[in-house]
Chain A
Amino acid sequence: MIANTGRERIISIKKARTEPAEDRSFREQLRRGFMGPMPLWPGAVPFGIAYALVSRASGFSGLETLLSSLLVYAGSAQLVMVTLYGSGAGLISIIVTAAILNLRHILYALSINRRMRPGERPGKAIVAPLLTDEAYGLTMREYLAGRGSMAYLLGAGISLYVVWAASTMGGVLFGSLLPDPEKLGLEFIFPLSFLALLLPLLRSRVAVVVAIVAAGTALAVGPYADGGVTFLIAAVTAAALGAALDRNTTQEQKADEVDA
């Protein structure tokens, strides 16, 4: 009991001392978070423009198209929403489909929540709307390198949000004047970026097996299901296999291998 109280006091003294430094580092983390996704911007812009074109062609007005990017901020869910609406689907079925597509965010948030320090600012409710595939990937890379933070996630989220909104706006205003964004193949930046995030994590045999199973499952299920559903099946299956295999490796090895 006495030892515990002593330790708590030391921790609270340490906390009080580091508070001003934390403030500075908050801005620094926010700035680094904003810069982090910059290499992805060239891929996000054509996607935003393409979304605007599909949305307009599906019967959404320019204002509605822009509003959806500002309020929903989920590329794949938005694309599915306007495409289904354009094909005459009912509102309820569109909303349910979008919800299923977005279920992967639960996995991302759980995964980040496991890493974040208690009481970290900004709060979860603030960063939650900015949680995208890319923001998750970049922030998780930071956490795995021991320097992740919610401020980084906020910065990365804002960075990608601004580009998404601006490119949707650009597509609404000038869409028909722009060259076909698909011809440049810039959407290839996204799989490349996740490849770059994946490779440094392949340091243990279990991690390699998990990656192969995830990729294989995604390829096998892909032709039969929506992108979001495919992803969910592949990621959950592979991570569950990793958890099962990991039980057999020694305790000390475990944490290091995954975090390396």
Chain B
Amino acid sequence: MNISAERLLLVLAVAAVTYLTRVAGFALGDREMSPAFDRFLAYVPVASFAALAIPGIADGAGTLPSRVIGATLATLVVLRFGKLWTCLLAGMAGFWLVGLLR
């Protein structure tokens, strides 16, 4: 196993900018915020989760039916039981089952 100076520099630089973006929000957050920005932040969780979930379900070449069925099962389970792992299990079960049947 070897290390090149160039690639090490690259890894260190990417690590540094990644850390900066992570710590910046915490540092900025201590300032006094306008009510409008506070309302904006209140909707960040809903907006983030939707922007991470839906494209991941809709995208995926060739496996769309598996994904839609899996997501539907996961939805029913999470609304009924609320536990994360049961929802993931149901979703993956639906995903695999459709994959086997097709």
Report which A residues bind B (CB closer than 8 A). Answer: 36, 38-40, 59-64, 67-68, 71-74, 77-78, 81, 85, 91, 94-95, 98-99, 102-114, 124-125, 128-129, 131, 133, 136-137, 140, 144, 185-186, 188-202, 206-207, 210-215, 217-219, 222, 230-231, 234-240, 242-243, 246-247, 254-255, 258
Taking a contact as CB atoms under 8 Å apart, the answer to whether B18 and A98 are in contact is yes
Taking a contact as CB atoms under 8 Å apart, the answer to whether B39 and A110 are in contact is no
Taking a contact as CB atoms under 8 Å apart, the answer to whether B48 and A136 are in contact is yes
Task: Evaluate whether A222 and B88 lie within 8 angstroms (CB atoms) in the complex, with A72-B14, A192-B70 already known.
Answer: no
* Chain B residue contacts of A72, Cβ below 8 A: 11, 14-15, 18
Report which B residues bind A (CB closer than 8 A). Answer: 1-4, 6-15, 17-30, 33, 36-60, 63, 66-67, 70-71, 74-75, 78-79, 82, 84-85, 87-88, 91-92, 95-96, 99
From A38, A68, A113, A214, B11 is in contact (CB under 8 Å) with A68
Taking a contact as CB atoms under 8 Å apart, the answer to whether A188 and B95 are in contact is yes
* Chain A residue contacts of B85, Cβ below 8 A: 38-39
Bound-complex Cα distance A164 to B12 (A): 18
| A–B complex contacts, Cβ < 8 Å, 8 sampled | A102-B18, A105-B25, A109-B22, A113-B26, A128-B19, A243-B36, A254-B39, A258-B46
Taking a contact as CB atoms under 8 Å apart, the answer to whether A128 and B49 are in contact is no
Bound-complex Cα distance A125 to B30 (A): 13
* Chain A residue contacts of B29, Cβ below 8 A: 109-110, 113-114
From B30, B48, B54, A108 is in contact (CB under 8 Å) with B48
Task: Evaluate whether A191 and B52 lie within 8 angstroms (CB atoms) in the complex, with A64-B8, A109-B24, A114-B29 already known.
Answer: yes
Task: Evaluate whether A106 and B47 lie within 8 angstroms (CB atoms) in the complex, with A215-B55, A239-B40 already known.
Answer: no
